[in-house]
Chain A
Amino acid sequence: MAEKEKPKKPKGEVHVNREVCKGCGFCVEFCPSHVLALDTAFNRKGYHPPVAAKPEACNGCNLCGLYCPDFAIFGVRLGKAEEDSDEG
C-alpha cells in the first residue's frame, strides 16, 4: 500500500528438481517470460527436464510451479522478503 512505485521489473530465479520431472513441458509452454526450455540431457528416468534458457528474464511469478503436475519446478522472487501472493 504505502510502497513506493517500482518501475524496475522484479527479478526471480527458477529451481528445478530434475529427478522428479516427467518432461511434460507445461512450464516451458506457459511461462509468461519464456524463460524455460527442455534440456537435451536426460534425468535418471529418461525424461528431459526443463532448464532456464534465459534465466535473466525470470521474474519469479511461480506460474511454472502452479502448472507443474510433478511438483518439480518453482520460481522464487529475489530481492524482497517472502510476500503473500495475491490472486492473479
Chain B
Amino acid sequence: MTQPRNPVEPFLRMDRMPHIWCPGCGIGVVVNCFARAMLESKTDIDSVQVVSGIGCTGRIAGYLRMDSYHTTHGRAIPFATGLKTARPDMKVVVFSGDGDLVAIGGNHLIHAARRNVDIKVICVNNFTYGMTGGQVAPTAPIESVATTSPFGVFEQPFNLAFLADSAGAVYVARWTTYHVRQLAKAMREVLQKPGFCFVEVIAPCPTIYQRRNRLGDALDAMRFYKQQSKLSEGADTRTLDIPMQGPIPVGRFVNRDRPTLLENMNTVLGKRLGAKFTPYPTGVTR
C-alpha cells in the first residue's frame, strides 16, 4: 500500500518544509485554507499568481508552489496591480500582514480598493510586527503591550474591514484562524469574484503578541477566538472594531458589484476615442 499524501501538497513547495513560522503561528493555517480553497474550487494552479510583501506573512509566497513573487516592503499591491494589468487572464492574490499592508503599504491599499483593481487581498492580522520584534502595528489594540509601547498602546487602531469598505472594496470579510471552513469558503468566493476583494484573518502570534501580553500560547488564542468570535454577517463595518481581548466580530460584511479598473478604462476611453480605441482584455466575464 502506498502512503497517502496530504491533499494540499500539490499546492506547496514541500521541499521547503518545515517552514520558518513559529509553533502555532496562524499563517500556516491561512496557507492551508488557501490551498484547500484552490483544491475545492478546482482552480488551475497555473492561473493563480501570488504576491506577498515583507514580514512573516511575506514568506507565504515562498511556500506556495505557484507563480509567486516576494516583493518589497508594503509594495505587494502595486506589484500585483501591474501583474494584473499585464496579464488580465490571471487571478492575482496578495498575501500580506497587517504591518506590511496597512502601515507602509496603506496608501496602496486604499487606492487599489478605490480603483477596484481585480486583485484578492488576504491580510493576516496578528496585531503586531512579528518578524522585526513586536513593534506597535497600526492594528495593535489599545492597551496591548508592544516593544515600542511597554506601558500599553494608546493609539486608535485601524478597523481594517471599515477601511477596505469605505475605500471601495467589493468583498470584505473577516475570519479568525479558528474558522477554517468559513475561511476556505471565503477564499473560494474571492477567487471567483471580480474586483478588489479583502479578507482579514485574525491570527495568533504566540511568540510576540501573545507572550508580551501574557495571553498564553497559540492554543489559548484559538480557544479565545472560539469563545469570543461574534458572527456579524452583513454588519455595518463601522461597528467592527476589535477591542483588546474583547469580542471579535467575524463574517462577510460586504459583497457588492462594481466595474473593475480595466472595465472602467474600456468604458471611458471607448466612449471618448470611439473606433480608434481597441478594448483591452479585462479578464472579467459578467
Distance in angstroms from A62 CB to nearest chain B CB is 8
* Residues from chain A with Cβ under 8 Å of B9 in the complex: 71
* Residues from chain B with Cβ under 8 Å of A88 in the complex: 181
Contact A26 B32 (CB under 8 A): no
A87 at the interface (CB under 8 A from B): yes
* Residues from chain B with Cβ under 8 Å of A41 in the complex: none
A57 CA / B180 CA spacing, docked (Å): 22
Contact B33 A66 (CB under 8 A): yes
Contact B219 A26 (CB under 8 A): yes
A26 CA / B23 CA spacing, docked (Å): 10
In-complex Cβ contact of A71 among B23, B25, B28, B184 (8 A): B28
CB 8 Å contact bits of B150-193 with A (1 = contact, 0 = none): 00000000000000000000000000000011001100000000
List which A30-70 residues lie within 8 A (CB) of chain B.
30, 45, 47, 62-63, 65-70
Interface size of B as a range: 20 to 34
Distance in angstroms from A28 CB to nearest chain B CB is 9
B79 at the interface (CB under 8 A from A): no
Contact B8 A71 (CB under 8 A): yes
Contact B23 A20 (CB under 8 A): no
In-complex Cβ contact of A66 among B12, B14, B184 (8 A): B184
List which B31-86 residues lie within 8 A (CB) of chain A.
31-33, 36, 40
List which A61-88 residues lie within 8 A (CB) of chain B.
62-63, 65-71, 74, 76, 84-85, 87-88
B29 at the interface (CB under 8 A from A): yes
Distance in angstroms from B209 CB to nearest chain A CB is 15
A20 CA / B29 CA spacing, docked (Å): 14
Contact A15 B4 (CB under 8 A): yes
B19 at the interface (CB under 8 A from A): yes
A11 at the interface (CB under 8 A from B): no
Size of the A side of the interface (Cβ < 8 Å), in residues, is 28
- Known: A23-B23, A24-B218, A24-B219. Contact between A66 and B4, CB under 8 A? no
- Known: A66-B36, A87-B185. Contact between A26 and B18, CB under 8 A? no
* Residues from chain B with Cβ under 8 Å of A87 in the complex: 40, 181, 185
Distance in angstroms from B152 CB to nearest chain A CB is 28
Distance in angstroms from B246 CB to nearest chain A CB is 22
* Residues from chain B with Cβ under 8 Å of A84 in the complex: 40
B132 at the interface (CB under 8 A from A): no
Instruction: With CB as the reference atom, state the residue of chain B lying closest to A30.
Output: B222
- Known: A26-B219, A29-B223, A85-B40. Contact between A69 and B180, CB under 8 A? no
Contact B29 A67 (CB under 8 A): yes
- Known: A66-B32, A69-B24, A71-B9. Contact between A45 and B4, CB under 8 A? no
* Residues from chain B with Cβ under 8 Å of A20 in the complex: 17-18
A17 CA / B219 CA spacing, docked (Å): 20
Chain A residues engaging chain B, CB cutoff 8 angstroms:
15, 17, 19-20, 22-26, 29-30, 45, 47, 62-63, 65-71, 74, 76, 84-85, 87-88
A sample of 9 cross-chain residue pairs with beta-carbon separation below 8 angstroms, ordered by A number, consists of A29-B222, A30-B222, A63-B180, A65-B32, A68-B32, A69-B25, A70-B17, A71-B12, A71-B14
Taking A20-B17, A23-B23, A26-B29 as known contacts, 14 extra A-B pairs with beta carbons closer than 8 A to each other, sorted by chain A number, are: A22-B22, A24-B24, A29-B223, A30-B222, A45-B18, A66-B29, A66-B32, A68-B28, A69-B24, A69-B27, A69-B32, A70-B17, A71-B32, A84-B40
